[in-house]
Each structure stands twice: as structure tokens, then as C-alpha cells.
Amino acid sequence: MFLILDALASGKGRRLSSLDVIGVGPRVIAGILESFGIDYRILRIEEFLSRKRHPSDFDVMLVSAMSMDEKAVSKASRMFDGIKILGGPITADLSVIGRLGFHLGVWGEGELSFSLLLDRGLKGGSLPSPKDLKDVPNLVFPNGSHTALTYLRKEDFLRFSPSIEAVTFYRKVPHYKSARVYVEVVRGCSNYNRPKIDASQDICSICNACYEFNLKKRLTCPQGIPPGCGYCSIPYLYGPPKSRRCDDILREIDGLASLGVKRIVLSGADFLEYCREDLVNGPLTHPSNPGPNLEALEDLLSAVKSLSDERGLFVEIENVKPCLVDEEVAFLLGKYLRGSPVHIGVETGNKRHADLIGRPCSPDESVRAIKLLKEAGLRPYAYFIHSLPGQNRTVARETIRTMRRVFDLGAEKITVYKFRSLPGTAFERYSAKVDKYSRMIVEVAIELNLRRKKELIGKVISAVVAPSIKRGVYAYPLGGGPVIRIRTKRELESGSLIKVKVTKVVYDRLVEGILVEGSESS
């Protein structure tokens, strides 16, 4: 039997945030195993690490993880004796396979590689020898050597469907009936601008690819600078965008709803990239030209809206790039997603800094996008990063000013992350330098978020009951927002829909409330 270990965002082995998220990766692996008729189980890595004894009926362990999860993955690897294969963004660092004691790694998009591995013997529980794997793309060996690293062709990408049934393995934290289940709609990113922080201006002025529309030319940089924002590995790992078929997405959502899933996130580095690649010849390597494929977006959103109304689902989208948002786009999103959260990366408030870090748009464009989306009835969440390369007093002050601007425009939440260098990116050799400016940015975010949370006091919110934990009863707001601790002695079933009146702000990410109506059936 195969074990899929979901380590995504587990850090050292204990997730501290996003406890209500079920990501796409493990379900994609599960879908491939199902197509081969192979028995498997999915476990969250916390559950695996907390067991004193491990079931001996697993022959192969497949781990899906991010770079930040190295500590948890290392512990899990030491506890397992069978064949161990590592996948997910963590393998952007090719040396991680050997360092963590894995037999094999799968870099970037793993669908084709993994199905070929199964074909060549893995389905029978044995690891094919490297000489039988020379033509299998994206494989990384313990010594760091690898086969050809490539992106899936769109026709191959479309051949694989994530398992629907696999979601039912998530019965603790998160529980599939209350979690946000991610459904992939588009993969990759069109931002093939490069961070200029280390670029020679003389070479750039001759090349100019970052500022032109030549899509093929934008694929490579004469200075060897990786594409995309310096803090993000998506263009490196997944290449230019490619979108799933609308029918496949609808079938997946419908299947998940049949099992009791209530919250769906239409997932992608940028939802507005959906089917944009159909508007150009060649790879979509420009982040804003052409604009979004409004026809395809409307077809998808109208069909998802009908389905979600029929099935009682709550649907949100993941991220949008500010440079793809205009009045028409905001109107379209507002028409189908009114009241839903929408996530927008602003990252820095300084225009020059935005170019230095490879952003596809300026802070002013981000502010304008947030304004338009708010006016269209969405609930924008604005993201910033502190301790980025190039951060200084001016950058920090302008970042704080931008945070206050988007707050005044009605941004639902200001999320600030600490910069983390990722392998394969232009900033892989930088490290976060936390200084007084970083602390200023964080403090302002906490202050603004507390103010916004206080506005919730007295409001009645629709929410879904979270899986029960010893410390109390918690619920997730259906339209997005802070986790709610519920003051009740009643036992509430995970996945039940409730209404809660907010009575108190506990801290910037947690509020407290009381039940207004009893739970409905789950």
C-alpha cells in the first residue's frame, strides 16, 4: 500500500496557520494512484509524526511538501523504512533529496513522471533503477543529479485529474466538511519580468525583454536571472500558465459537493490568468498583455455560480494580479463572487523597489485594483512582505503608507509575511534581514487588523464549525475573516452551518462570539 504524506505548510511539524486548507497536490497524486488501481492512504504529517508505532503495511511513502517544511519532512523520513519519494515545491532545491534520505525526488510538475515511475515498476512496490529512468522527466536522484527538467505540455496536463474521493481522508484538522478545498483552475505564472536588484543596467538597456511584448524573448534572460518576483518560485517550477477545462473543474466541484465539501477555493497563482494562454501564440510570458480572457472567465464563473447555488457551496478565488484588474474585470468578479475574499499581493509600497524585486505592477496599480474590487463588492485581502532585499527606510515608510491607504479603501485584512529565500529564484542567495523597519511594518499591520476586527463586534456572521479540538469550539466564517472561538457548552458537529454574533476581539487573528441560531444539518 502507498502512503501519501501531506506535509504542505507544516514547517517543523505543526501548522500554525491555514488549518482549514486542503491543498491540491496530495489529491493529484491520489488521482494517479487510483488510475493504476493502487491502494493508498493520505495522512497529514502531524498525524504521522505523533504516532508511536507506524503501520507496517505501507511499502512506499510519497511526501508532498514546501521548502519551509524541511524539518518535519526530515523527521518523517527517519521514521519510515520503505521506498521514499519527495515531491512538491521543496524539490526546487535539488540537494534536498539526498539530504533528507529520500530515494527519489520529483521536481516541479510530477504527474507524467510519477505515472511513468509506476509503469516502470513502482506500482509493484519496487524502485526502478536509474538506467531505466533516463527518459522520465523531472526526476532527482539522491546525489543531486537529475533527468531533464521540463514543464508539462498542456495536453499532458489535461490528462490527469485530482482524486475526488481522496478528500475524505481529511477527517481531523482539517476536516473536509469544513475546510477550504482547493480546486486547481490554472497552473504557472506569466510574470517573466526579472528582479533588477543584481542586473547590469547596461545589459538590460540592450536587451529590454522585461519591458517588451516579445513572448519568446521574455523566456530567457541574457544575465541568467530567473523569471518572476524574486521571492516566488512559481515561474521556475511550473512555467507559463496553462488552464484546466471548464467541464473538468465543474465535475470536480460537483463530486466534492456530493461528499459533503462546503467550501471551494478556485486555485491558481492568479485566477485572472484562466485561459489567457488561449489569447496568444506561444508561451504566455507577459503579465498584463493581453488582459484577462473575459469570455472564458465568465463561462467558468457563471457555471460555478449555478453549481454552487444548487449545491449550497461557498466559492472563493485565490489570488489576482493587480495589473490584470480593471473596471470590467472587477465588475465581472463582483457579479459572480460578491462578498467573497480575493487575495492581492502588493508586497512593497515603493515603485522603484517593486521593479527591483520583479513585481509585474506598481504599488499604485495594486491600490487601484483593491479599490475597484472593493467597489465591486468583493473583500480584498492585501499582502505585503517585510525584510525583502532592498528594504530601507524609504521603502518601509512607503510600504506603511500603502498599507494605510488600502486599509482606508476597505481592505479586509493586511497580511505581512517575512521574506523567505526560495531555491530557483533570483533571491535564493539572499536572506531575510529583520531590522527596525521590518518591525515597524509588522506593528502597523497588527494595529490595522485589530481595528478591522473591532468593526466586527456586534455583527452576525455565517460560519462553519471547525473540527473539534480540546481547547474549545471554533468556526470559520464562510465569507472569509478571522477564526471565531464560540462560547458554548453545546457540542457542535464539524461541518455544521451556524450563525455567530461576534462579542470580542481576542487578538488580530481571532475573535470570540456566541451562537445566534442552532446548528443546521451538516
Residues at the interface with ligand SF4 (CB under 6 A): 194, 199, 203-204, 207-210, 221-223, 225
Signed CA dihedral, 397, 400, 406, 407: sign only = negative
- For the bound state, the minimum distance from the C-beta of residue 128 to ligand SF4, rounded and expressed in Å, comes to 39
Tell me the pairing of strands 242-243 and 60-64. unpaired
Q: Which is nearer to ligand SF4, 222 or 282 (CB)?
A: 222
β-bridge pairing 21-22 and 341-347 = unpaired
C-alpha cell at 377: 463588492
- Residue 74: C-alpha distances to residues 61, 266, 278, 342 (Å): 13, 31, 41, 34
**Closer to ligand SF4 at the Cβ: 135 or 202?**
202
Shortest spacing between CB 235 and ligand SF4, in angstroms: 13
Could you tell me the smallest distance in angstroms from the CB atom of residue 426 to ligand SF4?
Answer: 9
For ligand SF4, the closer CB: 124 or 222: 222
As measured in angstroms, the least distance from the Cβ of 62 to ligand SF4 is 36
Strands 242-243 and 186-187: antiparallel
Beta carbons within 8 Å of 183's beta carbon, 6+ residues apart: 24, 162, 249, 252, 253, 256, 264, 265, 266, 267
Nearer to ligand SF4, 2 or 192 (CB): 192
Measured from the CB atom, is 13 or 389 closer to ligand SF4?
A: 389
Bridge partners (DSSP) of residue 507 are: 510
Nearest residue (CB) to ligand SF4, 207 versus 456: 207
Burial 279-294 (b: 16+ CB within 10 A, else e): ebeebbbbbbeeebbe
| Residue 357 CB contacts under 8 Å (≥ 6 apart), including other chains | 195, 197, 229, 230, 231, 347, 348, 388, 389, 390, 427
Looking at beta carbons only, is 56 or 201 nearer to ligand SF4? 201
Which residues share a beta bridge with 483?
Answer: 510
Smallest distance from ligand SF4 to CB 208, Å: 5
d(CA 9, CA 17): 9
| Minimum distance of ligand SF4 from residue 272's CB (angstroms) | 23
The smaller minimum CB distance to ligand SF4, of residues 49 and 207, is found at: 207
Task: Please state whether the peptide bond connecting residue 222 to the residue before it is cis, i.e. omega within 30 degrees of 0.
Answer: no
Could you count the other beta carbons within 10 Å of the beta carbon of residue 309? 10
Nearer to ligand SF4, 356 or 511 (CB): 356
Question: Least distance in Å: CB of 206 to ligand SF4?
Answer: 8
Closest separation in Å from C-beta 30 to ligand SF4:
39
415 near 452, Cβ under 8 Å?
A: no
Instruction: Report, in Å, the least distance between residue 417 CB and ligand SF4.
Output: 25
Q: Which is nearer to ligand SF4, 22 or 426 (CB)?
A: 426
d(CA 428, CA 409): 34
Amino acid at 36: F
Distance between CA atoms of 324 and 292, rounded to whole angstroms?
Answer: 6
Nearer to ligand SF4, 208 or 306 (CB): 208
Number of helices (H) and strands (E) in the chain: give both, helices first: 15, 21
Beta pairing partners, 62: 4, 85
What gap in Å lies between CA 154 and CA 132, rounded to an integer? 25
Q: How far is the CB of 370 from ligand SF4 (least distance, A)?
A: 28
Work out how close the CB of 333 gets to ligand SF4 at its nearest, in angstroms, rounded to a whole number: 31
CB of 194 to ligand SF4, least distance (A): 4
| Residue 62 · residue 85 · CB < 8 Å | yes
Is the Cβ of residue 214 or residue 306 nearer to ligand SF4 in the bound state? 214
